[in-house]
């Protein structure tokens, strides 16, 4: 069964096609990477899937649901979360407060409910806290929980950004360059987290990443974009031996 389907998606800005007739099929429970040179359209496709941009043409489906015109809020309610290339964190708040705040987007009661049904609100709040603690534990953020995000190293902030997305308990996680600016050890940690998310949390991962070594190591399938067009797809071995892909990367990596 196909899980996420991108069909003939074109995205236009003024006269420029950021994406042209892009097709992708993503099955549940796998790691899919999207690679390509700078400006190839990788972030644009994540923006289309997560509802920040709407395709000028084509369709995006997630199971039985259409994401083509969905808002970011609807997309996250459908169980799709995103970690951003540029961190979406409140630098003046602690790690714990950032994660609780993100988790609150998931609350399914209104302020009125909170007033009239205090018991239910309190129970939900306890559940939220427990879920956030599980994420902190998984992402090994325990030593930083009370620290202000702005005071943490960039590598740890990137980890908090992934944790922020995880607090929404997604079935599908979109990661936009989660390893950018990290040293080798920090990258190894993120790789381990991504593999565990797949194996232990059964989360489907879509990854945009420039580090081809990492991409080749952890991906089940890879899509390659160049100038907004899909120029290759397949397993890491298939993609690595695709002449179009090799051409696109000459002088790049
Ligand atoms: N909001 C926007 N308005 C105008 N042009 C845009 C917008 N967003 C993206 N583009 C253009 O669309 C093209 C694809 O950009 P995109 O950010 O998706 O590429 P990318 O592959 O993610 O690049 P990078 O690896 O540098 O992050 C680029 O030419 C970019 O300038």
Identify the pLDDT of residue 88: 80
CA of 18 to the centre of ligand 1 (A): 6
Identify the pLDDT of residue 2: 55
Measured distance between the N- and C-terminal CA atoms of the chain, rounded to whole angstroms: 35
- Decide: 45 in ligand 1 pocket, CB within 6 A: no
Give ipTM to 2 decimals.
0.95
User: What digits encode the pLDDT tens for the residues 34-44?
Assistant: 999 999 999 99
Give me the chain's average pLDDT, please: 91
Q: Report CA dihedral (113, 116, 122, 124) to the nearest 10 degrees.
A: -30
Q: How does residue 113 score in pLDDT terms, banded at 50, 70 and 90?
A: low
CB 82 within 8 A of CB 128: no
Which contacts qualify for 238-244: CB closer than 8 Å, 24 or more apart?
Answer: 239/35, 240/216
Whether 124 has a pLDDT exceeding 60, the answer reads yes
Identify the pLDDT of residue 249: 76
- Decide: 43 in ligand 1 pocket, CB within 6 A: yes
- Decide: 37 in ligand 1 pocket, CB within 6 A: no
CA of 184 to the centre of ligand 1 (A): 27
Helix/strand/coil (H/E/C) assignment for every residue in the chain? CCCEEEEEEEEEECCEEEEEEEEEEECCCCEEEEECCCCCCHHHHHHHHCCCCCCCEEEEEECCEECCCCCHHHHHHCCEEEECCCCCCCCCCEHHHHHHHHHHCCCCCCHHHHHHCHHHHHHHHHHHHHHHHHHHHHCCCHHHCCCEHHHCCHHHHHHHHHHHHHCCCCCEEEEECCCCCCCHHHHHHHHHHHHHHHHCCCCEEEEECCCHHHHHHHCCEEEEEECCEEEEEECHHHHHCCHHHHHHHCCCC
Identify the pLDDT of residue 84: 87
Bridge partners (DSSP) of residue 152 are none
Of all residues in the chain, what percent carry a pLDDT higher than 90? 79
108 vs 36: which has the higher pLDDT: 36
Q: How far apart are CA 128 and CA 131, in angstroms?
A: 5
What Rg, from alpha-carbon coordinates, does the chain have? 19
In the chain, where are the structural domains located?
A: 1-79+170-253, 94-168
Closest Cα to atom 6 of ligand 1: 13
Whether 139 has a pLDDT exceeding 90, the answer reads yes
Other CB atoms within 10 A of residue 174 CB = 25
CA of 182 to the centre of ligand 1 (A): 22
The CATH number of 1-79+170-253 is 3.40.50.300
Q: How far apart are CA 129 and CA 106, in angstroms?
A: 12
Q: How far apart are CA 79 and CA 81, in angstroms?
A: 6
User: What digits encode the pLDDT tens for the residues 50-74?
Assistant: 999 999 999 999 999 999 999 999 9
Query: Which whole number is the average pLDDT over 201-223?
Result: 95
User: What digits encode the pLDDT tens for the residues 157-201?
Assistant: 999 999 999 999 999 999 999 998 889 999 999 999 999 999 999
Whether 144 has a pLDDT exceeding 90, the answer reads yes
CA of 121 to the centre of ligand 1 (A): 42
């Amino acid at each position: 069964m196909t899980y996420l389907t991108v069909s003939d998606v074109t995205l236009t800005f003024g006269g420029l096609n950021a994406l042209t007739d892009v097709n992708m099929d993503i099955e549940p429970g796998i790691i899919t990477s999207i690679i390509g040179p700078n400006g190839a359209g990788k972030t644009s496709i994540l923006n289309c899937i997560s509802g920040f941009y709407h395709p000028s043409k084509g369709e995006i489906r997630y199971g039985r649901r259409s994401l083509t015109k969905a808002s970011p809020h609807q997309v996250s309610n459908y169980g799709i979360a995103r970690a951003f290339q540029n961190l979406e964190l409140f630098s003046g708040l602690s790690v714990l407060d950032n994660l609780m705040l993100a988790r609150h987007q998931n609350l399914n009661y209104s302020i009125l409910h909170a007033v009239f049904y205090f018991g239910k609100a309190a129970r939900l709040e306890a559940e939220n806290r427990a879920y956030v603690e599980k994420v902190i534990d998984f992402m090994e953020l325990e030593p930083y929980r009370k620290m202000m995000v702005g005071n943490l190293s960039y590598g740890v902030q990137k980890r908090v950004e992934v944790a922020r997305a995880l607090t929404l308990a997604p079935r599908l996680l979109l990661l936009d360059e989660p390893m950018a600016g990290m040293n080798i050890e920090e990258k190894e940690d993120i790789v381990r987290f991504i593999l565990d998310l797949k194996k232990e949390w059964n989360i489907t991962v879509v990854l945009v990443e420039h580090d081809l070594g990492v991409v080749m190591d952890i991906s089940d399938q890879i899509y390659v974009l160049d100038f907004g067009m899909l120029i290759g797809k397949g397993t890491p071995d298939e993609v690595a031996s695709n002449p179009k892909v090799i051409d696109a990367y000459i002088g790049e990596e």
